[in-house]
Amino acid sequence: MRLAVALAVAVALAQPALALSCMAPDIARDYASAAQSDDRYIIVKGDLFLDETALPDRVGQSQTSRHDSRDIAGWLAGHSLTRDGFAKPFERDVILRVSCVGPWCGGTVKGEHLAFLKQEDQHWVMQIAPCPGMTYADPTQELEETVLACIRGETCTRD
The amino acid occupying position 49 is F
Nearest to 92 by CA among 128, 124, 136, 129: 124
| Residue-wise pLDDT tens digits, 48-88 | 999 999 998 766 556 556 678 999 999 999 999 999 999 99
Contact (CB, 8 A) for 26 and 43: no
Q: Is the dihedral of CA 69, 135, 61, 22 positive or negative?
A: positive
| pLDDT over 70, % of the chain | 81
**Domains of the chain and CATH, by start:** 24-151 (2.40.50)
- For residue 58, the model assigns a pLDDT of 65
- Predicted TM-score of the model (pTM): 0.82
Among 116, 111, 98, smallest CA distance to 137 is for 111
Beta bridge partners of 45: 79, 114
- From the number of C-beta atoms within 10 Å of its C-beta (0-12, 13-18, 19+), residue 24 rates as exposed
